[in-house]
Structure formats: C-alpha cells, structure tokens
Structure 1
Amino acid sequence: MISTELPYLSIRKPVIGEAMVVSSQPLASQAGIRVLEQGGNAVDAAIAAAATIAVVEPTNNSIGGDAFAQVWDGERLHGINASGRAPASVDVTAFHGLRKMPERGWQSVTVPGAISAWTALSSRFGRLPFAQLMRSAINYAETGFFVSPGVAIKWSEQSEILRSQPGFAATFLPNGVSPPVGSRFRQPELAETLARIAESNGADFYRGETAKRIAAFARDCGADLKFEDLATHEAEWVEPLSSSFMGSQAYELPPNGQGVVALFALAILDRLNLSAYPVDSAGSIHLQVEAIKAAFAEMGPRIGQSAAPPPGTSWIDQSLVAKHADAIGRKKAGPFVHKLAPLAGTVYLAAGDAEGMMVSFIQSNYMGFGSGIVVPHTGVALQNRGACFSTNPESLTCIRPRSRPFHTILPGFLASQDGDLVAFGSTGGTFQPQGHVQIVARLIAYKQNPQAIVDAPRFKIGEGGNVVLEPGFSEDVQGELASYGHRLTAQSTSSWDFGGMQILHRADGRYLGGVDSRRDSHVAVA
C-alpha cells in the first residue's frame, strides 16, 4: 500500500526553463510538454494538458464542465469565456420557493463549455492538428492511469454523496468503491468519446453522436437539457478587464465570473501602501482582508451573466475605490455582509513557449465530480454549475432560459511594471479572488518568487466574515489580528481548503514555475 501521509510542508525550489507547463497533475503537465516538443505552441500545450487532466483528475473537472482562459499572444491579451447556459426550455417555476438551487442531479446541470474552449483556442491560435492534442488524454482513458494521492482522497469523500446519481457508480465506483491510491483506473467509453471529439474537431460533442447520447439520456430522465441546447453553444471571446496595483496591471475576465472582486480589492490596496507592512505581518494581512471584504460587498451584488457593468457604472469605479479605501481602519476590522458560495473543486494550469506565448487556463465541474450524473456509454460527467444560479427573481443571477450562472473560476494574468508577465491561478470557489489578491500582493509588493508565494501560508474570509488562517502564521500575528477585531477561527488542519495555486512567471526570456504541494502538482520543462 502507498502511504499518503505528508508530515511536513513541501518547500520546493523554483523551476526555470525556456518553455513550461504547470498543473495540478504530473501527467497533464507532461502531456503539454510533449506537444511543445512536437512543434506545438503554448496554446497547443494548454489544450493537451486540459484534455489530459479532465481524464486523470475527474474529481475536479471533466469534459462535461466549463472553462475560461487568458492568452498572451506575444503582443496582446485575449480572453475566452466558455461557460455554458441553462437549457432553453428550463421550467423556472420549478425553483420558485426554494431557498437555493439544487446542488446535484439534473436540475444543477448547464451546457458543458470546456470542449468549446479547446476548439476555439486551437482554431485561433493553435499550431498542431487538434486531434494530435487529444492523444495523451485518449491513451490515459483507454489504457488507464494510476490514481494520485490527492485525487484518491477527493474521490473517496464524494463517493457516498454521489453514489445514487444516474450513471455515477457504474463509471466511477469499480467494484462498488472508489479506487485507492496507486490503482489503475480505465475509462474505455470516455476514450471512445474523446476519439470522436478529436476526429471532429470537437463538433461531435455539440452536434454529433455524443450530443445525441447526452440529449437522449436527459430526455429519458425527464430533464430539460436538449440537443438544441448543445448544438447552439459557442465559446465567447471577451476583452479582459484590468486594474492597477503599484504600477503593475492585473487582468481578469469580466462577469459572469468573480474576477472583478480581485481587481476591485487590488485597486483598494493600491491606495493603502501595502508594502510598508512586512510580509505575513498582521498589518499586511489586515489590509488585504479588509480590501477583499469591501470588494465582495461592492462587486458581489453587481455580478450577473452580462460582461457589461450595470447601467451608469464601471467595474472599477475609482470614486468607489477611494471611498472604500478611506473607510478601512488601519487597526480595526470592518463588517462583512456578503454571502459566499460554497467551496468547490477546480483545476488550474498554465503554459508558456519559447516564443513568449502564454496561456492561463482554468477548468471545472464546480463541486468535485459535478452533478454526479454520468451519461451512459460516453464517460461524460456533467457539471453542476447551475447550483450557482439564484432562485430570487430580482437577482442578476436568477435562473432563466439560456442564461449563464455566476461563475467562481478565474484565470489570472499580470503585466508587471518592469516588463515581467505572469499567468496564475488558484482553485477553491470563492477563495479564488482572495488567492489572486495574495498572489499579486506577494509578487509585486513583496517581490517573492513563484515557489515562495505558493508555499507561503494563506488566509481566507469565511462565512460571516470570520478569518481563517492556514498553519504557519505566528501566535503574535494571530493575537494582533484578534486585537483589531477580526474573528479568527481555529487554524484549518486541511490545506485543501486554501485552494491549489500554480504560477508561471516570464522574466528575461525564461520562465519560473511555482506549483502547489497542497495538490498533486507538477511543473514540466522543455
């Protein structure tokens, strides 16, 4: 039996290379590097890694989930929103009177968008044939892969919750149990689906045999999702939003995601002279916490499915930024009224090639395996992103036919004042914008290298405004934060609750990679 015990925090050295792929799975990072060595570019590498990780880390993503990306083409930044929509025929009256949306089952399913991200990226920026990028994923689905420690843990945790969902046990619980660490797991039906996707440049998933099977299963189960919902889906190219922090520019995608929360918090911190406080000090943590609380309170109610801000406003309104910055007490915690979404499972990866193209990419089923529904004879596990809709008719994120839900997943990007470029991300639901703020603060205000940033202890704001600290902060820091009025919960014993960070930093024509020991992460170099 393979031991999963990790008695110490892993402190790794930054990895340096001419071309690089970082992800939460070694097999995915290596798949990306293989296509770089075959003549592909960073976009090809990111797609190959994304397809592979959808197979080897099914506990957090799949080909039935959504994806977002930012691409630096060497001259400018591009954004892609590949989130899916609610079915056109969804019966919204079925949700009237519910306190919140169902988190599992067919009512939580939205159209999967990940495949459309892969194909749109490949068509616009890719160098190699799309089918070539699917080879590693098909191979691992057909011949199997050895289940990694982090994946085995999350698989076991979710197995009883999802066992009764249609198709789940037959696909993901061989012999009735979740596979243990080091066991080989095969998905031949998923391999066949991926082969059809490869041969059709992705069209099969939305308009071919796979789409027909998804729609037929939905019909048999009495669900709203139809073939036309899949056939009409398209990924959308969007213009990234930005915010200045200490002369550098942080970039996030516009809503329906929560990237504006990170940008607004950084804009506040830009006015508060964060670098005057030592890294990991109570003063530094306090200012970051207060800026994030203000950003959630200001931006949260304004995030809907539209990329445009509410009429008469802008996303990063400097007068509002100044108002919130001025209201922050240097040694006094303020209130927190925003309601946070639950923690969820996601994968983040980044790729960079020798020519300087970089990709920041994130992919998710939302809550681990997602809805729990697996379409027979396809291996397609469907996401539960519909759980992020509101049931309140007055909300900007209320479920409506063909509407996009609120999204938690964020691919981050940074252009520093001195010309460095950074692709970065953090998993963990509503921890993600909080993680982005901590990454940028450490990069710019404290000049830390990517691996030091990933290894550093983290904090997060929990429900009700409680501050949760990861082990690593001193008792003096905790005591000082408490004296400011912060309600500190016990230091979390689970590092999983603080997301999984990956960072790809390009400086002086080379990459520095930082990967997270809180996950099964790996940095691969070409």
Structure 2
Amino acid sequence: MKSFDHLNYPYPSRRTTTVANRGMVATSQPLAAQAGLDILKQGGNAIDAAIATAAALTVVEPTSNGIGGDAFALVWTKGKLHGLNSSGPAPKNISIEQMKERGYEEIPKFGWMPVTVPGAPGAWAELSERFGKLPLTDVLKPAIDYAENGYPISPVLGKFWKMAYKKYKEVLTSDEFKHWFETFAPNGKAPEVGEVWKSPGHANTLRSIAETKAESFYRGELAEKIADFSNQYDGFLTAEDLADYKPEWVDPISVNYRGYDVWEIPPNGQGLIALMGLNILKGYSFKEKDSVDTYHKQLEAMKLAFTDGKEYITERNHMEHTVKDLLSEQFAEQRRAEIADEALTPEPGTPPKGGTVYLATADAEGNMVSFIQSNYMGFGSGLVVPGTGISLQNRGYDFSLNPSDANALEGGKRSYHTIIPGFLTKDNQPVGPFGVMGGYMQPQGHLQVVMNTVDFHLNPQAALDAPRWQWMEGKKFVVEPHFPNHIAEHLVRKGHQIQVELEQGAFGRGQIIWRDNDTGTLYGGTESRTDGSIASY
C-alpha cells in the first residue's frame, strides 16, 4: 500500500500515521497496545501480541468487552489468510416456546435470557495453540498484572464507565446483578478518571485460563462456577453447553474491489453486508470523495446491503441464500439498478437461488492479525460470575422470537453477530488488517475505510479521521458534526433524512495497519474518537 495522499486533505488528521518496521499494535486503549508490544519484544509474533492485547482489553476497557464475550479473527501467516469464528451459541435448552412461557415477547437486554456461550477464551487458546510462539502463560501476563495491581482510568473509558453505571443503577435492581456492582463499582460509584481500579478475581481467572489453555473455562473449575451461577437464577446456560463449545476455523469470504480483495468472516457475522455494499459500489466510478454524488451512492448502497443482511444473515446452515448468491454479480447489478437520483426506502432484494474492541497487530516476519472482541452493548448482560471478573455477554438479544425470521432463536444456534474483523490483500499479498467497532456501524465503517483507502488514497490515519455517516432506518442517516454541511443540505434535497449526531461513540472506533511489502514498512492509524493508541518499534 503506497498510494497515500498525505496532502490536500480537507479534514486534518487529529493524529499522524505511525510508521515502523519491526512490530506494531493498534487498539483503542494505550495500556493494551503496550501489552501487545511487550510480547513482541519478548520474541512473540503478531498472533501472540493479538492475544495479549485482547486479554488486556478485558481488564483495561471492560466497558466494551470481557472474558465472557465472543471474538473473531483474521490471521495472515505464511502466505495464507485464516478465519476464526469464536462466537458462542445459545444454550441448547432454550427455545422460543420457553421464552414465551416465561412471559417474554422479545428477548431482554439484561439478565440470563440473552446470555450465550462465551467464545473469547477459546479464541485465545486456539490462536495460541495453532500459530503462537510463546506459552499462553507468558502471553497473558500483562493482562494479569493490570488486573492484579490495577491501572488508572483513562478519559474516554471513564466517560463510558460512568454512563453504564448510571444506567445499570436504574435498571439492574434484582439480586443476580449485585456482583456487577461489587466488581465494577466497588465504592458505590464508577471509578473516576485517574483513579486506580483493580480486579483480583479477574486476575485469578486469567491465570487459570492461561495455565489450562482455557480448559478450566469450558470443562473445569470456572465452567462449574458459571453453570452454578446460571442455575441459581434459573438461566438456560449449563455446564454441558460450555463443555461442548469449540471455536470454528472458517474460510474467509471476499469481493474484489478495484484490484483489492476485501476479506471478512462469513456468516453468522455481518461482514457480508460490507462486501455486498462494495459489490454494488464497484459498478460506479468516483472522482472525488466530498461530492454529493459520492455520498448519495454510498448511502443508497449501504441501505440496500444492510436491508438484505438483516433479512438473510444468520448462522450459515440456517440461511435461505448462500454467501455466493448474495455476493453474485447478478444480485449486485439488480440492487445497483434500484439506485436513482432520489433517496429510496429500502426493501429486501431477491437473491438468485444457489460495546466492542478491535485490535490489529503485525510483526517483522510478515504475520498480521485482525481481531475483534465484544460483550455487546458495553458491559453486556449485567451479570458477573461471583469472584471471577467474568462479565457475561448478552449476544442473544439479537435473536428474534418470530419463528419465521432467519435469525429466530433456537437452542444451540449462533445469532446474527455484529462484530467483524476486516483484512485487505492485493495480488495475493497482504495489505493489512482493519476494523471499525460499534454495533451496526461496523460494516458501514468497513465500507467507508476501504473506499477512503482505495478510491481516495487516504493514509491510514486520515482514512479513520474522515467524517463518518451511519444508516439508521428507512431514509434516516446520522452524520458527525464535521461532516460537510453543504453536502448534507444537498442530500436532504435528494430525499435523505440527515441528522447531526454529537455523541462520538455512535460512529465506531477503528484501527488500521498497512504493510508495504517491498520494504516491510508498517503504516498504522488509530481511532481519534477514543483513547486509541499505536505501540510500535
């Protein structure tokens, strides 16, 4: 990746692109980035660094992820891209009928009903076993140290922690939630910026995961504690659900966009939406970034891709249409033909038959990792397994209780998943990992980052700093305050409903590492909308 336009960019980057050649870690929290870099300097590779960073993030950014969440990874090593789906299924004994019998018309956000099997510890162990160089006990040491000895709260982290505490204090009033407050508000309030917070239980859990290669989490002492906690409050998650879990290695999916292959994890993830959007947009030629025509076509393509994704994406063996169908040229042409000069109200097409953290790592050997991990909706379910620091995810909230929906709840089924890592290659050579976390913003962020890079030749930092937009529903989009006002006004005249959103968290948080394969030089960009940091050497 060489064709960066470092100059003449109308929205100055809040940071400069980081350049290094021996190793790089980009993520949303400086202490976690440093943890990954420490592992690289100890002789670990990019995979070890990714695991170390991910584990550290469960401690230093618990507002977005935790040990009880899910993870996905794209790993470039020895000339090949590998995909890992480490999302967990719904408990085997749960069903729509049982939810209805308990009085639920939809799955709640908090408590035991939306809890699915956590996949993150399994991802760390699986990646370490297959591609790591250092023992998992060494790789998790930085995270254990942060949990045991504490760290000071950073500004953006403190903001989201306080917001979560205020909300949870109002809605999490029953007994099963008390352990969340004991863990994350030990003094009866959220920790202040600069205050040192520690979690000894979290440290002990990470140590157990490291020493047993996650066996204790799925088939040992930690599994028993999780299952006992579930049983105490009539949850569906059982020791059998945990014991039967194993991450899945998958073949990544891609589209070729102007000579670059854009890679995503296949469903149950929503990365397919980004690829469908790019597949529609590659039929156009874009001369400039900040034009009404460019934005109009982007908005329309994303609406169509997202509408199709929400209609069809779920676990692969439950999908009515295949990935090949949804990424076919025929379907892209069909959807492209629907884009006119005025904003449309999207409806699903008919294909032919046939709270999150993100990190990127790279090392001098050529290994590169795109990794994403989440509890969903910030802290997740509001449940913390007593004495362990394990904050359980609420990923099951995305299931539907309508039996006819593609993503209908079933025991043992994985839900439509929002977290997605991305990767870019060209001519079968790695360009690098990228990602934008943040719920349904993620595929929209992927599309914008790819176009900023490929169509408009922006360097990694500028590609991230560029003003973002997000489709919400129908014709409604929200844009950042520094989105060009004159373009927003023109888009309104085309029928789009444009609103300025002041909350930075609405537009995701991204990271990029690109490699120049001729020189081995790494170029990194990190999110200016959070406490993002790049550690490199």
Query: Which interval holds the TM-score relative to the shorter structure?
Result: over 0.9
**Native 8 Å contact 2:91 2:237 kept in 1:** yes
**Native 8 Å contact 2:319 2:406 kept in 1:** no
Quick check: 1:497 aligned with 2:496? no
Quick check: 1:145 aligned with 2:151? yes
Q: Relative to structure 1, is the Cα distance of residues 315 and 464 closer, same or farther in structure 2, using a 3 angstrom cutoff?
A: closer
Q: Deviations over 1:374-397 (max 9, x none)?
A: 010111100000101111111121
Which of the residues 16, 23, 42 maps onto 1:38?
42
Runs of 5+ unmatched residues, structure 2: 1-10, 349-354
Q: Which residue of 1 aligns with 2:195?
A: 183
* CA distance in structure 1 between the aligned counterparts of 2:446 and 2:274, rounded to whole angstroms: 6
Q: Which residue of 2 aligns with 1:93?
A: 97
Q: Which residue of 2 aligns with 1:3?
A: none
Residue 480 of structure 1, CA deviation: 1.3
Which of the residues 122, 129, 132 maps onto 2:135?
129
Bigger Cα displacement from structure 2, 314-323 vs 303-312: 303-312
Q: Percent identity, please.
A: 44
Name segments (4+ residues, structure 1) moved above 6 Å. none
**Native 8 Å contact 1:337 1:465 kept in 2:** no
Q: Which residue of 2 aligns with 1:47?
A: 51
**Native 8 Å contact 1:171 1:379 kept in 2:** yes
Quick check: 1:429 aligned with 2:439? yes
Q: How many pairs does the alignment contain?
A: 509
Which of the residues 13, 18, 22 maps onto 2:16?
13
* CA distance in structure 2 between the aligned counterparts of 1:315 and 1:71, rounded to whole angstroms: 24
* CA distance in structure 2 between the aligned counterparts of 1:441 and 1:50, rounded to whole angstroms: 27
Q: Relative to structure 1, is the Cα distance of residues 9 and 392 closer, same or farther in structure 2, using a 3 angstrom cutoff?
A: farther
Q: Which residue of 2 aligns with 1:283?
A: 293
Residue 416 of structure 1, CA deviation: 3.3
When the two structures are superposed, what TM-score results if normalisation uses the length of structure 2?
A: 0.92
Q: What is the correspondence of 1:80-479 to structure 2 with a 5 Å cutoff?
A: 80-96=84-100, 98-163=104-169, 164=173, 165-273=177-285, 275-276=286-287, 278-306=288-316, 310=320, 314-329=325-340, 331-337=341-347, 345-416=355-426, 419=429, 421-479=431-489
**Native 8 Å contact 1:43 1:122 kept in 2:** yes
Residue 194 of structure 1, CA deviation: 1.0
When the two structures are superposed, what TM-score results if normalisation uses the length of structure 1?
A: 0.94
Residue 311 of structure 1, CA deviation: 5.2
Residue 174 of structure 1, CA deviation: 1.7
* CA distance in structure 2 between the aligned counterparts of 1:393 and 1:307, rounded to whole angstroms: 16
Residue identity matched to 1:375: V
Q: Deviations over 1:471-490 (max 9, x none)?
A: 2222221121112111112x
* CA distance in structure 2 between the aligned counterparts of 1:359 and 1:76, rounded to whole angstroms: 12
Q: Relative to structure 1, is the Cα distance of residues 9 and 421 closer, same or farther in structure 2, using a 3 angstrom cutoff?
A: closer
Q: Relative to structure 1, is the Cα distance of residues 23 and 371 closer, same or farther in structure 2, using a 3 angstrom cutoff?
A: same
Q: Deviations over 1:136-184 (max 9, x none)?
A: 0000000001111111111111113324324111111121100010100
SS of 1:223's equivalent? coil
* CA distance in structure 2 between the aligned counterparts of 1:15 and 1:187, rounded to whole angstroms: 33
Q: Relative to structure 1, is the Cα distance of residues 493 and 311 closer, same or farther in structure 2, using a 3 angstrom cutoff?
A: closer
* CA distance in structure 2 between the aligned counterparts of 1:471 and 1:35, rounded to whole angstroms: 39
SS of 1:451's equivalent? helix
SS of 1:36's equivalent? helix
Which of the residues 48, 63, 66 maps onto 1:59?
63
**Native 8 Å contact 2:262 2:424 kept in 1:** yes
Which of the residues 18, 26, 33 maps onto 1:29?
33
Q: Which residue of 2 aligns with 1:75?
A: 79
Q: Relative to structure 1, is the Cα distance of residues 166 and 397 closer, same or farther in structure 2, using a 3 angstrom cutoff?
A: farther
SS of 2:534's equivalent? strand
Runs of 5+ unmatched residues, structure 1: 1-7, 339-344
* CA distance in structure 2 between the aligned counterparts of 1:166 and 1:67, rounded to whole angstroms: 26
